[in-house]
Amino acid sequence: MTDLDRSPRIRQPLIDAQSAVDAALTEVLADLGRRWRALTPDGSASPGSPDNPASHLGLIGASTQLTADDVLGYLVDFLSRPGKRIRPQMCFWGWASVHGTCAPTHDNGYADMVTAGAALELLHVLGLVHDDVMDESDQRRGRPTVHRRATDDHRRQHADGDPDRYGESIAVLVGDLAHTEAVRLAMTLPPPMREVWNTLSLELMIGQATDLIGAAGRRRDLAHARAIARTKSGAYTVARPLDLGATAAGATELTRQALARYGHHVGEAFALRDDLLGAFGDTSTTGKPVGDDLVAGKPTVLLALAAQTDDPATQSALASIESRAIAAGDVPQIQATLAAAGIVDRAEALIADATAAALLELDEAPIHPDAREGLVDLAQSIAWRAS
């Protein structure tokens, strides 16, 4: 049981904020459905209600032909299977760093915080859907990835062209559609929040590009791997969403700087845990395949740590990874080799150090006590999560 579970006074306002974000996303999708219908050329749409985008869900893979509506349907379906909502949570606690868990008012930035949370979730869809294409992933949140589903629909309906290329193209469009709606929401935010949003978006793209280039260049240095973790995952997941919420609340520069330091450490813990779950997690819990990063030779902290060891078995495993000579069936052996070489223990130690550093930052941070309590719990739950 976490501290927040024992503190309904703190927990309930977070739940209310999450519900407000979900309501905002529902409204966005309903409005998108109406606009989509108005702009879809005659003859290329499927029957359905423009006011209820969920009505598109039954059409995916069931209609007698592929239609433009499938793109909207995939997006609606993806958002109907929410993840952990970490970014909106961070946005809320950034806002609470100023106001605590008091009731929202029309002038304390609460509405802007909710809008930012919804925009973050839409941006996250872009990141996940496109990342799955880049990584050739088969599963996300316990179901086939968007590009795999679209590929299967193409094959099932005996459509023309290459099914795999079609699936990837549709997934790119789904991600682009999510990004379009995210930016549409972000444009309604006050200028200071838009600046934070623009920085967050750039960091996401830079982190993804650095990841791809690092894999292509077979980078194995720890500094590079940690930089990717901080930029691609940490800043976009923790530090910038915190800053969005704090900016919405009118936080002082001292408060924003304290949250940034906390976010830096928690973001690193988040990314390191992601690396471990990606390499050693349980698919039934994480909802995605385990070992893909190992097969792809991605420049993760785990492989950077492995590259620092003199263990012959580990170096042999790295050589196989570098030469792309491994497949999914080789993952258990590589897992065992890395674990025996102490790589898992070293990664866990880095996570513990990052979490401790984050909590230390909160000790003297000029933030509301409610937010301090919430951020302590969130740092621990992120660092030691199982999915």
* pLDDT (tens digit per residue) in 55-83: 444 444 444 588 999 999 999 999 988 78
Q: Mean pLDDT score of the chain, rounded to an integer?
A: 88
DSSP state of 59: G
Residue 150 lies inside a defined structural domain of this protein: yes
Hey, what are 27's tokens? 């409204």
**230: domain CATH number?**
1.10.600.10
Per-residue model confidence (pLDDT) at position 7 = 67
Q: What is the distance in angstroms between the CA of the first residue and the CA of the last residue of the chain?
A: 17
Q: What range defines the domain where residue 60 resides?
A: 8-383
Q: Please determine, for residue 170, whether its predicted confidence score (pLDDT) is greater than 90.
A: yes
Residue 168 lies inside a defined structural domain of this protein: yes
Residue-wise burial string across 14-35, b where 16 or more C-beta atoms lie within 10 A, e elsewhere: beebbebbbebbbebbbebbee
Per DSSP, what are the bridge partners of residue 144? Answer: 139
Residue 120 lies inside a defined structural domain of this protein: yes
How deeply is 223 buried, as exposed, middle or buried, from its count of CB atoms within 10 A (0-12, 13-18, 19+)? exposed
How deeply is 324 buried, as exposed, middle or buried, from its count of CB atoms within 10 A (0-12, 13-18, 19+)? exposed
Residue 33 lies inside a defined structural domain of this protein: yes
| Region of residue 23 (phi > 0: left; psi between -120 and 50: alpha; otherwise: beta) | alpha
Compute the distance between CA of residue 100 and CA of residue 282 in angstroms, rounded to an integer: 36
- Total-model pTM: 0.89
Among 47-56, 147-156, 303-312, the least confident range: 47-56
Residue 2 lies inside a defined structural domain of this protein: no
Specify the number of domains making up the chain. 1
Q: At 305, which amino acid appears?
A: L
Give per-residue pLDDT as tens, 260-316: 999 999 999 999 998 899 888 888 888 777 888 888 788 888 999 999 999 999 999
| Structure-derived torsion over alpha carbons of residues 45, 51, 55, 59, reported in degrees to the nearest 10 | 10
Higher pLDDT, 369 or 231: 369
Give per-residue pLDDT as tens, 103-123: 888 789 999 999 999 999 999
Residue 1 lies inside a defined structural domain of this protein: no
Mean pLDDT, residues 35-64 taken together: 56
Among 138-142, 211-215, 229-233, 355-359, the least confident range: 229-233
